[in-house]
Amino acid sequence: MRNEGEVAMSLLQQDATGVDDAALGEELTKGSSHVVWATIAATVVVSIAIGTYMYVEQTPPIASGEIVAVWAHPQHTETSGLDANGAPMPKEEVDQVMVFTQVKLQNRTDHPLFLVNVLTNATLADGIHSSYAANSGDYERIFVAYPNIPVPHNTPISPLDTTINPGQTVEGTFVSAFKMTKQEWDARKKLDYTFSFRYQPSLTLAPQVPITER
């Protein structure tokens, strides 16, 4: 026969065992729940990735283009050392590279495309340097200010007022300017262009033609 102490001890052991089993079951349930949620999350991520890939692959580009020619004109200028009244002032030296680019752009949609800006991007050792293309008026003023500039004076394309109708191809030249020396320009690693359209994705083009320095 068991005495009262043994019975009490036996009951305590049974209660403890029951608590451990319940806790273990709860932990197993929690672990299973975590696995289920992790599986659901992974499935959602994969579905989004597949959907994005299919959208990008099946959606045709709104525009295509070609860089026809590129002319780079490094220029070093020095101020006269006189202000507007003829008084002496410190001279200043300025180095810049003007990049003239002839491009063809084609509208591949069934609605007009409105070109809003163009960025010329030069990648140097310290990162990407970008310059907005000048509008057609400033393009023309360059040839007035520098009549002997050794660059072809072509029909300009303006990033501010160019509309490309459905199926139409437009061609023209624009200019961007970088404040850098010829040595810095020559050390560039990459050159490309970003064409931005109103309410539409941008088009990035890299020249497949040699860059002519004048």
Could you tell me the pLDDT band of residue 90, with boundaries at 50, 70 and 90?
confident
Structure tokens at 25: 């079951």
Phi and psi at 180, nearest 5°, equal: -160, 160
As a whole number of angstroms, the distance between CA 76 and CA 153 comes to: 21
Share of the chain above pLDDT 90, in %: 61
For the entire predicted model, the pTM comes to 0.70
**Between 9 and 173, residue with greater pLDDT:** 173
Q: How far apart are CA 91 and CA 83, in angstroms?
A: 10
Instruction: Give the span between the Cα atoms of 102 and 172, in whole angstroms.
Output: 6
The torsion of the CA quartet 7, 13, 15, 19, rounded to 10 degrees, works out to 180
**pLDDT-derived band at 44, boundaries 50, 70, 90:** low
* Mean pLDDT (the chain, rounded): 82
**Least-confidence region, from 27-36, 63-72, 110-119:** 27-36
